[in-house]
Amino acid sequence: MELIVENALQTQAFAENLATFLEPNDVILLDGDLGAGKTTFTQGLARGLAIKRNVKSPTFNLIKEYHDGTMPLYHMDLYRLEGIGGEDLGLEEYFNGDGVCVVEWGKFVADDLPPEYLTIQLKKDLNDFEKRTLVLLAQGQHYENLIQKLQ
């Protein structure tokens, strides 16, 4: 599935809608350059999960947990793990936990990822600073079904 969003508000609105279809143990990988809108997307997802706290990038913490919504949100920014991997972070506990995991820079822990997940690529438009193309790629039947619900 591919979708063009005109600005950050539309990115958040799409993510907020996506949140209504999510279940515990869902894993979403956000793939995009720095400034592509990964944290903006996560803010919309958090709003869709009724999380009231301000969502910020967990770049220095690696993982931020939000427990005040309809289900927990585990927001991971694994950029600093490039070349290191995440085997000692206990990511498996998050992936098999009771909430939704949003993983930025998942390629740095590819060996630690569960077998099924949804990848959302956020691509900047070279001619319009606000515009993004969102590409949803399912890894597994559950996420193929999820994409069907969004269409």
* pLDDT per position as a tens digit, 66-105: 999 999 999 998 876 554 555 567 788 899 889 999 999 8
- 10 sits in which H/E element: helix 8-19
| Residue in this structure with the two tokens 């070349």, named with its chain if needed | 83
- The domain tally of the chain equals 1
Task: Write out the residue range of the structural domain in which residue 41 sits.
Answer: 2-150
Q: How far is CA 80 from the centre of its chain?
A: 17
pLDDT in tens, 29-70: 999 988 899 999 999 999 999 999 989 876 667 889 999 999
Residue 92 pLDDT: 87
CA distance 1 to 81: 29
Kindly report the CATH number assigned to the domain that includes residue 67.
3.40.50.300
pLDDT in tens, 136-147: 999 999 999 999
Average the pLDDT over 4-20 and give the result: 97
CA distance 11 to 65: 21
Strand extents, DSSP E, 33-86: 63-66, 73-77
| pTM, rounded to two decimals | 0.91
